[in-house]
Homo-oligomer: A and B are copies of this chain.
């Protein structure tokens, strides 16, 4: 029998414990698929609590995770500490520096420092694997980097944050407001005590930056991603979306446009029959469109101990089998640094919702602004009459450049009869 793959585990939170459980519960399955045993031999975490002692019996304990990187008895370091800076980053750099392969679930680290880490991995001929960083247990990294590798990808889009999708689903199904659902999600453990990174779209943007790099064979560029969160999505707009045949989802989208790549995370109106519209609750899904394969959809649990451990162990099995792939699917010198297309150059249809005083002439003023800026309307919806009071007006545009849309919006917001900040939501057809 071949020598076991000796794994050092840095981090013993939910995900780290999940990896320990999987490698113990499914040792026979993993051994058959990896062609050799895959065993955790060393661990490091912040605190060595008593409850852990049973689970950790027989494992070497390291107070300093960096020591794992240098340990000659360690074949691969699994980093599940998290965070784009600090000890997680130091550990991954140190391990790669020693030529040791790394498996990580750390989307922030890969999104922000992935280009430099990939260079280090290539220099040292050490694998850097991160299937668990995007969409939990769904093998989407493998699908893009290997399964669809023969395709020129035109677009990749996904529901990449379970917390946001849970909140938007509950808002729609239970007709409740954002703040109310968020508070409940926090109580139930679907949202963090500080939900900013999820709610503001940053977590989804980390994942999208990774998908975009893989899909288009270019170095990862997190700072190129345009990011908007879901805090401003209201019950009113969700209801209008339903009337118009759409659902509101927080999407991450990366697509070829104008000779570059447009990468953006924002709430979007999606036709109710589109694959991503039907993905509810904490489920994640990714749609990839390739020139030969057509459209492929992958769906599953995007987070949690089990799914994340599943992805990490898949990476470990690849390592054990010697199945190696460059970080971004191609060697650094074969990547093409396509330029980023700024959000102002986005072309698409828009949903625009205003609160206006219900009096003659208001719609004429609004539509005159749109006409002057070359924005043409596909439809308009006005519900309820309340002379002299505030009423919502909804407009859906034909394809428009975002720059024109924003200029129109600024002028419309300045109209005296327009009472609140107008709401603008991009429409995505798939």
Nearest chain B CB to A18 CB, angstrom units? 7
> Considering the chains assembled together, what is the distance between the CA atoms of A314 and B293 in angstroms?
11
Q: Using Cβ atoms and an 8 Å threshold, which residues of chain B touch A29?
A: 149-152, 217
* Cβ-closest 4 pairs across A and B: A139-B147, A150-B313, A137-B293, A32-B330
Chain A residues 304-321 with CB under 8 Å of chain B are 304, 306-307, 309-311, 313-314, 316-318, 321
Q: Given A290-B310, A298-B296, are A146 and B151 also a contact pair (CB < 8 Å)?
A: no
**CB-based contact A149/B306 at 8 Å:** no
CB pair B152 A147 closer than 8 Å: no
Is B306 in contact with A301, judged by CB distance below 8 angstroms?
Answer: no
A148 adjacent to B137 (CB under 8 Å) = yes
Contact for A146 among B26, B142, B301, B326, CB less than 8 A: B142
Q: Is A203 an interface residue (CB 8 A)?
A: no
User: Which residue numbers of A lie inside 8 Å of B, CB to CB?
Assistant: 18, 22, 25-26, 29-35, 131, 136-139, 142-143, 145-152, 217, 275, 278, 290-301, 304, 306-307, 309-311, 313-314, 316-318, 321-326, 329-331, 334-335
Alpha-carbon distance A304/B291, docked complex (angstroms): 13
- When A18-B292, A293-B137, A323-B324 are in contact, do A147 and B151 touch as well, CB less than 8 Å? no
**Whole-angstrom distance between the alpha carbons of A291 and B35 in the complex?**
21
Contacts of A329 in B (CB 8 A): 32-33
Asked whether A143 lies within 8 Å of B149 as measured between CB atoms, the reply is no
* Contact call A310/B32, Cβ cutoff below 8 A: no
Which B residues are CB-close (under 8 A) to A304? 294
Bound-state CA distance A335–B32 (Å) is 8
Chain B residues contacting A18 (CB-CB under 8 Å) are 292
A334 neighbours in B (Cβ, 8 Å): 31-32, 35
28 contacts across the A-B interface (CB closer than 8 A) = A25-B291, A26-B152, A29-B150, A30-B150, A31-B334, A32-B329, A32-B334, A33-B145, A33-B150, A33-B217, A35-B334, A137-B294, A139-B148, A146-B318, A147-B314, A148-B310, A150-B313, A293-B300, A293-B301, A295-B300, A296-B299, A296-B300, A297-B298, A298-B298, A299-B299, A321-B324, A322-B322, A323-B325
Give the residue name and chain of the B residue nearest to A309 (CB).
B292
> When the two chains form their complex, are residues A150 and B293 in contact, meaning their CB atoms are under 8 A apart?
no
Interface centre among A146, A292, A330 (most CB of B within 10 A): A292
Q: Which residues from B are CB-within-8-Å of A150?
A: 22, 26, 29-30, 33, 309-310, 313-314, 316-317
**Bound state CA distance, A142 and B146, in angstroms?**
9
How far apart sit A24 and B313, CA to CA, in the bound complex (Å)?
A: 36
Q: Which residues of B contact A35 (CB under 8 A)?
A: 326, 330-331, 334
Tell whether, in the assembled complex, residue A294 and residue B301 are in contact, meaning their CB atoms are under 8 Å apart: yes
- Other A-B contacts than A29-B152, A293-B311, 15 sampled, CB-CB below 8 A, are A25-B291, A26-B292, A29-B149, A32-B335, A34-B149, A35-B330, A137-B292, A139-B142, A151-B310, A275-B299, A294-B304, A296-B298, A322-B322, A322-B324, A323-B324
